[in-house]
Amino acid sequence: MKIPARTRIKMCGLTREKDVEAGVEAGLDALGFIFYRKSPRNVDPDFVRSVVAKMPPFTDCVGVFVNRRREEVEEIVEYCGLSHAQLHGSEDPKYCERIERFVSPCRVVKAFRVSEESTREEFDPYAKVIHGYLLDTYVKGNAGGTGETFDWSIIKRLNLQRPMILAGGLDPGNIEEALKQVQPFGVDVNSGVEIEPGIKDHAKLFEFVSKVRASPQVKSS
């Protein structure tokens, strides 16, 4: 399937309704909510359910999970009405496939922490059971949301077979260069548009979105 050459934008780590409203106003394609108790951006399913119920059409809501029991992920996805599950732990292909097949409608995005040691063999087993890869920065002992970039040149040698979402330290200052080098299907921003963890800077958000929308896009992958 040919993918339209328009970079999708997701903002993650939402904890306040006013930031959700700003994301909708900015024209984001997706909003992310973290269900991970160790994260300073962890949210309660009741909050997310109430927010999703007010969401306008064509805006996706994504749940972020780290090594959570599959049954709990399924329950939260269905209770909140999420469209995607973004998995940041060691979830294997069978785990991902189970959510894709039996939680409707829900698509799985599998996150990988990228380093110089990353190889295509890590990604290939997931290609037929998920809808996309999210590439974050590898930091030992950290499941994601590091606020640090990685060497984007690594991506080319991975030769990924599913749509790719770029994450890891993106902000209004580096997003144009990231798009130029990587040409991803989508980008995921979090700490790069924050005042502090879970509190979004609306001016930075609108600047980030404006730069993505204005950037020349040759292709998406």
Domains of the chain and any CATH numbers: 8-214 (3.20.20.70)
The catalytically annotated residue of 12, 61, 80, 96 is 12
The secondary structure element, H or E, covering residue 114 is: strand 107-114
- Show the tokens assigned to 14: 């939402």
The catalytically annotated residue of 136, 171, 188, 201 is 136
How far, in Å, are 31, 50, 54, 69, 94 from residue 188 at the CA level? 9, 23, 22, 24, 25
Q: What is the value of pTM for the model shown?
A: 0.93
Q: Is 12 labeled as catalytic in the residue annotation?
A: yes
Q: Is 96 labeled as catalytic in the residue annotation?
A: no
pLDDT in tens, the chain (221 residues): 555 568 999 999 999 999 999 999 999 999 999 999 999 999 999 999 999 999 999 999 999 999 999 999 999 999 999 999 999 999 999 999 999 988 878 999 999 999 999 999 999 999 999 999 999 998 766 665 667 899 999 999 999 989 999 999 999 999 999 999 999 999 999 999 999 999 999 999 999 999 999 987 645 44
For position 220, what pLDDT does the model report?
44
- State how far the Cα of 130 lies from the Cα of 133, in Å rounded to an integer: 8
CA dihedral defined by 68, 74, 80, 82, rounded to 10 degrees?
100
Contacts 24+ apart (CB under 8 A), 213-220: 213/27, 215/7, 215/175, 215/176, 215/179, 215/180, 217/5, 217/6, 217/7, 217/179, 217/183, 218/5, 218/183, 219/5, 219/183, 220/3, 220/4, 220/5, 220/6, 220/7, 220/163, 220/183, 220/184, 220/185
